[in-house]
Amino acid sequence: MGSETEERQSGIAEPWHCPVSRKCGGCQYLGLSYSEQLEKKERQVRETLSGIVRTEKITGMSFPYFYRNKVHAAFRRKKNGDIISGIYAEGTHKVVQADRCLIENQNADRIIQTIRSLLPSFRITIYNEDSGYGLLRHILIRTGRRTGQVLVVLVASSPVFPSKKNFIGALLKKHPEITCVVLNVNDRKTSMVLGDRNIVLFGKGYIEDILCGKIFRISPSSFYQVNPVQTEVLYRKAMQLAGLTGNETVFDAYSGIGTIGIIAADQAREVTCVELNDHAVRDAEWNARKNKASNIRFYQDDAGRFLEKMAEQGKRTDVLFMDPPRSGSTETFMHAAVRMHPDRIVYISCNPETLARDIRYFHRLGYIAECVYPVDMFPWTGSIESVCLLTEHNQGTQNHNSQNQGPQNNNSQNQGPQNNNSQNQGPQNNNSQNQGPQNHGTQNRDNQYHGTKC
């Protein structure tokens, strides 16, 4: 992995000229200076949320280049037999050759070029999506920014990889910094990059990275923010808005590999996390043990469904973290959330439009948005991340426990959150304690807190 010092000496000039920018379409703001990008993104958030919530100044990067710790490459064989690697042209599955990218980890790009150069000598065929013939479909590189560890994922259509030991040996000779190599088997006709089966060819099958002082395991399919520098900025702001004192119960929805929940665990009495992806849940449990976080529990379930079950049981929580996908949250989830009467909801959003929509719905349910902080997680692109604080409006007349309000709940009141595994199963344990968070907050504390963090 190239160090930040090495990256700063890369001779970056603005505006950056990318020969494939029009075909790729990933970096929509290449024609703007970085300061102009920040102004445009802050204005976008401010205008989208105008009349809804106060928008604070955006936080940008000091060095907004080569930040992506996850790099994906597709391959294509040209008519003359040459193999190229790169990205898909926007809106297509046509591979456009790209050996270097302004936003991708530089060493990851170099490893991909090395793999491409090794393919002919090992007679490894390139998968053809139309015919279904060929072996190598994709390469995925994941890098730990703090640790320097590198995970190489070879996505193939078959578990039979010719001369794999010699191939790995040749790759490691060129790149001894590689920590592990995994063969991911994707034998289906699908546009999805990864299949369900992983075969470890070298190393442990995962890498570790450090985020906000905590160690996290990253496996091929686990979600981990692609810009760790700005993720720390975003999460520290989220923790500040949460106002944790050590006495609170915390609920972390859409929890992934447990980053937010584990960071919050040091400052909370207990934390409950829910995530649908089973691979991510297993990584989250390992992460909790690695960080000695004994006050956190993980459940594999849909976040909205799980929260409904907890609300039906009368569970309450002090602080709710939510980090939904770009499409935003659902009315079912938000309605169940307010029935748990959190003092504070910390909403991490990657889409100002759906954030505005969800804030309006929360307002109807008696919660008001106090402030929103934009963070530039994806320089040179049109994407923007924000973190927003919502608090319960004590003067409201909403009865959040009424089953006649909001989306219908089809779950039986006798059905609690399901805990699928026993504690004897090690890393596959989703925790045996079927205990939802209890509310130990008071209305007076909420009055004292109201507005002080924004």
In whole angstroms, what is the distance from residue 235 CA to residue 242 CA?
10
Residue tagged active-site, from 350, 371, 388, 454: 350
- Which stretches of 91-227 are DSSP H helices? 106-118, 164-174
Dihedral sign from CA coordinates of 11, 15, 19, 25: positive
SS3 411: coil
In whole angstroms, what is the distance from residue 438 CA to residue 253 CA?
16
In whole angstroms, what is the distance from residue 430 CA to residue 326 CA?
26
Told to judge if 350 belongs to the known catalytic residues of this protein, a careful annotator would answer yes
- Closest C-alpha to 415, from 315, 329, 330, 342: 315
SS3 365: coil
Q: Give the pairing of strands 296-300 and 270-275.
A: parallel
CA dist list (Å): 361 to 11, 93, 291, 333, 337: 48, 38, 37, 11, 12
In whole angstroms, what is the distance from residue 124 CA to residue 45 CA?
47
Residue length, the chain?
454
- Given a contact cutoff of 8 angstroms between Cβ atoms, the answer to whether 210 and 143 are in contact is no
Residues recognised as catalytic: 350
